[in-house]
Structure 1
Amino acid sequence: MSNRLLAYARPLVARFWEICLLRKGPEDIPHSPPLLLVLLLLGYAVDNLRVNLLLAGVTAWQLAGIIILHTLLMLSITAGLLSLFGYRARIVQTLTALTGTGIILSLLMLPLDFITHQNPDNLTMATLLIMAMQIWSLVIVGHVLSHALSVHRLTGVIIAIGYLILGLAAFNAMLPQVS
């Protein structure tokens, strides 16, 4: 059973990595709602680790609320944009690409989060790498959206920046409840 899972997962992870390197797009990901669901659950687990590390004083319910709100924003905004542009058939693949690449980047950032958590008052190389990876993340989201919406890559990055701003606003709205 695990050999079959690995045989399926390896090429999929390789495709997500190729999207991270801007070599492939969401159209290269299989259209599979069950895969999207599995990735959303895996993404929740990875985000739970990261947010729990970064916000040590939150309860499990607050942590779940933050992650679920972020996920719902990504799902609804992406589905809304694709519907608005007339590309409803691309929703599953686009969300799968965004979720899969997000998991890869989160896993890459997890050790850096741990390092910065251990030394929060110092600007370290890990902090700079996290900032660089956040920029890379915006470029990846922009790349995926430009493919999905059939728009220029710069337009995709501008939309990705909009995602970031909305996500930060939602997070800040929840922050007083977290403290």
Structure 2
Amino acid sequence: MYGWVLLFFDLCRFRKGPQDLPYSQALLLSSITAYAILGFLMLYIESGWFNAIMQVSVGALLLLAFAKIILLISRKPGRFVQTSSALFGTDALISFFAIPIIAGMTTGRVSMLSFAAMVALMIWNWLIIGHILRHALSETFSFGLGIAFLYIMASYWVMAQLFP
């Protein structure tokens, strides 16, 4: 387990790609579980337990569907388990770092430091997704960033429509 966490940290630092993760259903399930727990904790701070569960569930389905579709389009469906594991695991790590910032922001005192930290985490998350997609799709980093940007914007739009 500790080895997997280190691999996700290396992914977040752009030292490894999704191909460096083992092809493991157990790792995918563990990554989804970590994503769900940390995502729930992050969302619960602002929206309550039911809304947090619903948003985490929809977010997980969107991420799974996105990974499946983008890999099918690029004719690389065999990379689904590793790519999905990488996306869920790195998102869980970003959520882990975001929880204290969001908790501080919900007290009503939004400082420039907390705002800057959230923006930095959002940009870092975008870069990580782009990095993962670059490797998963065997494309350039700029292509991966473009696809990551489209995914992020589409998922924000879907979430805003479902949870106004």
Global fold match (TM > 0.5): yes
Structure 2 partner of 1:73: 62
Amino acid at match of 1:99: F
Which residue is equivalent to 2:82?
Answer: 93
Other structure's SS at 2:106 match: helix
Matches within 5 A, 1:7-86: 9-55=1-47, 58=48, 60-86=49-75
**Cα distance in 2 between the residues matched to 1:132 and 1:54:** 20
* CA displacement at 1:54 relative to structure 2: 2.5
Q: 1:164 aligns with which of 132, 152, 158?
A: 152
**Is residue 2:104 matched to residue 1:148?**
no
Contact residue 54 and residue 117 of structure 1 kept, 8 A: yes
| TM-score normalised by the chain length of structure 1 | 0.87
Instruction: State which of 113, 117, 127 in structure 1 corresponds to 2:106.
Output: 117
Structure 2: any 5+ residue segments left out of the alignment? none
On the 8 A contact 1:18/1:24 being kept in 2, the answer is yes
* 2:130 is the counterpart of 1:138: no
Measure, in 2, the Cα distance between the counterparts of 1:53 and 1:106: 12
Percent identical across equivalent pairs? 27
2:163 maps to which residue?
175
Gaps of 5+ in 1: 1-8
Cα drift, residue 62 of structure 1: 2.7
Cα separation, 2, equivalents of 1:144 and 1:173: 27
For residues 49 and 21 of structure 1, the distance between their equivalents in structure 2, rounded to whole angstroms, comes to: 24
* Cα distance in structure 2, aligned partners of 1:87 and 1:72: 20
Aligned length: 164
The superposition leaves residues 91-141 of structure 1 with CA deviations (integer Å, 9 ceiling, x where unpaired) of 000000111111111101111111111135x34301210111100000000
Higher-Rg member (1/2): 1
Deviation at 1:89, TM superposition (A): 0.8
Query: Which residue of the partner structure matches residue 5 of structure 1?
Result: none
Q: Are the equivalent residues in 2 in contact too, given 1:116–1:124 (CA < 8 A)?
A: no
Q: Give the Cα separation in 2 of the matches to 1:153 and 1:27.
A: 15
Deviation at 1:61, TM superposition (A): 3.2
1:126 counterpart letter in structure 2:
S
